[in-house]
Structure formats: C-alpha cells, structure tokens
C-alpha cells in the first residue's frame, strides 16, 4: 500500500506529493520539523511536540500556519489513513517557494508536509547487550534548541559513528556533553541520574522530559546539570533517549566498557516504567 501523506491542505498518495525545486527547504534548509510517535493509533505527548514546534517556528520567525486543533485533526487523519498501530509521524514546515535569496521573501505561503511510517522496533539485541558509541566534537551551530531541518552536521556525525560500527555519536563541546547526534544523553553515577540542562546547545527532547518525570515519580535522584567528559568516562551507566529509539543503554564508549559492560539496573528500572507508560498510551489511557 502506498502511504498517504499530507501536503499543503491535501491528503494524497506519497508518489503524487510534489514540491517545487525552489522550495526554501530544499535550497536553504529554511524550515523546522517534528517526529511524533503514536502507539495503538494514540499520539505520545502530542501537545508537548506541538508546543516545541511552535517554539522552533518562533525561533526562525515563521508564523505557525495551523492552530492546535488543525494540527491535531490533520495528524489524527494521517494516523488513521496509514497502516500500522505504532507509527512515527514526521512533519515539516518550510518558509515556502520563492526565487533563491537568503533574506525572507514577502507574501509567500509556507510549505506544510506530514507523513507517517510504521515505527521500526528497536532491535532486541540492542536492549539485551546495549549499544556502542563514540565521542565526537560537537561541530553544529549555536541554536541547537531549534528543531531545524538543517541536519547536515548531525548527519555527518551519526555517519561517522555508523561507519566505525557504532550506533550513535555522543557530542562534546568545551569538554562538556551536549547530546547525541539525534538523541539526548543521561548518565548514572552512583545513585544519581544526570542529564545536561536545557540550553541552546541541545534539543529539549520530549523523551528526555518523560524520563525525568518517571525518575522523579520513582524517587530516583536526578539532576539537570553539566556533564564533563570526565563524568561521562566514569559513569556507571549511560543512556540515550529519543522518540524513535526510546531509552537505549550504552555499554561501550570509544571501545571501552561502560560500568559493567551490560545494561545497568537503573536503566532496567526506568525502561520498565517507560514501557508501562507507552502501554497506557496504546490503550488510550492518556489524553494528550
Ligand atoms: N530526533 N536531540 C536531537 C539532536 C535529536 O535529533 C533528537 C530526536 C533528540 C530527542 O528528542 P525527542 O525525544 O523529542 O525525540 C535530541 C528525531 C527523533 C529525529 O530527528 O528523527
């Protein structure tokens, strides 16, 4: 079955969705995006994702082309029109189509695109054995709080990890951890869970927020605080979080074992709560 996508007011088969080569997303990466998971056709923290979308749009001085209700209706229709109980909706807004010029053009309509794909389950052996990571210098721009479609640096960093047989790159700036190429970073040191505080150096992950919430509910001590390279190397556990990969235990860093070299006890505990939360979404027990 050909997936149904949304493009500028219409639902149509993916193969018929076309945009101009003058689109500023294509020529200048002038746009923002979101990735929103849904379980059992129920969205995971939709409101939080749409709030972050609004924040990203404000960051690039682009007016939100839709109200909250309009977004909810479009995205819900997309879920229903596509196969799979568990899906990840991708949505993107660019400044629109205009002759190429860096400055904003006047009087054009933004391009609004959304598609939905079945969520690829995280490989079981990643959860059993944990994943491998490398540290790389964070070469990205200074506004990483905006979920910009300009992902070339993230692409190169992830690729460098993958090319060396790793699953993710953990990024370092001035001897501090920022985030992963497409994920947020947590460490466990002793009894304490830590993640870098929200700033313009990283994306405020929706999964990150939920992990903090679940940890606080479970009375796990957690702190949003800077993580130095030294802290990272000496952590008992390292986790990576994102909408599509959930919470992943990291068991090697630059070829050395993290902690015992097995997914840690705190990860087991938090992942259990996370999976339980997801199950409640799947059963429609949370409205968001
Ligand atoms: N990316 N940091 C970066 C740079 C990311 O690209 C992502 C997710 C995250 C985690 O955010 P969240 O928990 O809201 O998914 C952090 C998505 C999944 C992507 O680009 O496909």
CATH number listed for the domain at residues 124-281: 3.20.10.10
Are 126 and 244 in contact by the 8 Å Cβ rule? The answer is no
Q: What is the pLDDT of residue 287?
A: 67
Q: What is the pLDDT of residue 286?
A: 79
Residues having CB within 6 Å of any atom of ligand 1: 35, 154, 179, 182-184, 203, 205-208, 241-244
Q: What is the pLDDT of residue 288?
A: 65
User: Residue 36 C-alpha to ligand 1 middle, in angstroms?
Assistant: 10
Could you give the angle at the alpha carbon of 265 between the alpha carbons of 261 and 268, nearest 5°? 105
- The atom number, within ligand 1, closest to the CA of 33 reads 20
Domain boundaries, the chain: 4-118, 124-281
Handedness of CA 94, 99, 102, 106 (dihedral sign): negative
Q: Identical fold at 4-118 and 124-281?
A: no
Single pTM value for the model: 0.97
Pocket test for ligand 1, best of 186, 205, 241, 274 (most atoms within 8 A of CB): 205
Element containing residue 179 per DSSP (H, E): strand 176-180
Considering just the CA atoms, what is the radius of gyration of the chain in Å?
19
CATH number listed for the domain at residues 4-118: 3.30.470.10
Tens digit of pLDDT for each residue in 80-94? Answer: 999 998 999 999 999
Using 70 as the pLDDT threshold, list the residues of the chain that sit under it.
287-288
Q: Judging by DSSP bridges, how do beta strands 192-195 and 222-224 pair with one another?
A: parallel
- The atom number, within ligand 1, closest to the CA of 207 reads 13
User: Residue 71 C-alpha to ligand 1 middle, in angstroms?
Assistant: 20
To the query of whether residue 147 is one of the catalytic residues in this protein, the response is yes
């Amino acid at each position: 079955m050909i997936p149904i996508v949304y493009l500028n007011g219409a639902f149509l088969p993916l193969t018929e969705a076309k945009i101009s080569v003058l689109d500023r997303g294509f020529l200048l990466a002038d746009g923002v995006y979101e990735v929103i998971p849904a379980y059992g056709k129920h969205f995971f923290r939709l409101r939080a994702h749409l709030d972050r979308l609004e924040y990203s749009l404000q960051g690039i001085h682009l007016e939100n082309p839709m109200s909250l209700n309009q977004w909810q209706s479009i995205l819900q229709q997309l879920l229903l029109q596509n196969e799979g109980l568990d899906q990840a909706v991708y949505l993107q807004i660019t400044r629109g189509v205009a002759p190429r010029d860096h400055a904003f053009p006047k009087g054009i309509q933004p391009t609004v695109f959304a598609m939905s794909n079945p969520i690829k389950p995280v490989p079981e052996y990643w959860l059993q054995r944990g994943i491998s990571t490398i540290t790389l210098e964070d070469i990205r721009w200074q506004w990483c709080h905006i979920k910009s479609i300009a992902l070339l640096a993230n692409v190169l960093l992830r690729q460098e990890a993958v090319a060396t047989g790793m699953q993710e790159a953990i990024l370092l700036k001035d001897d501090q951890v920022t985030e992963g190429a497409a994920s947020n970073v947590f460490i466990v040191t002793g009894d304490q869970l830590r993640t870098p505080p929200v700033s313009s150096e990283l994306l405020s992950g929706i999964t990150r927020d939920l992990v903090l919430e679940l940890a606080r509910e479970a009375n796990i001590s957690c702190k949003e605080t800077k993580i130095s390279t030294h802290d990272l190397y000496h952590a008992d556990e390292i986790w990576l979080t994102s909408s599509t990969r959930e919470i992943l235990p990291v068991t090697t860093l630059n070829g050395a074992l993290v902690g015992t070299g097995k997914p840690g006890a705190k990860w087991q505990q938090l992942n259990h709560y996370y999976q339980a939360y997801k199950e409640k979404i799947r059963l429609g027990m949370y409205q968001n």
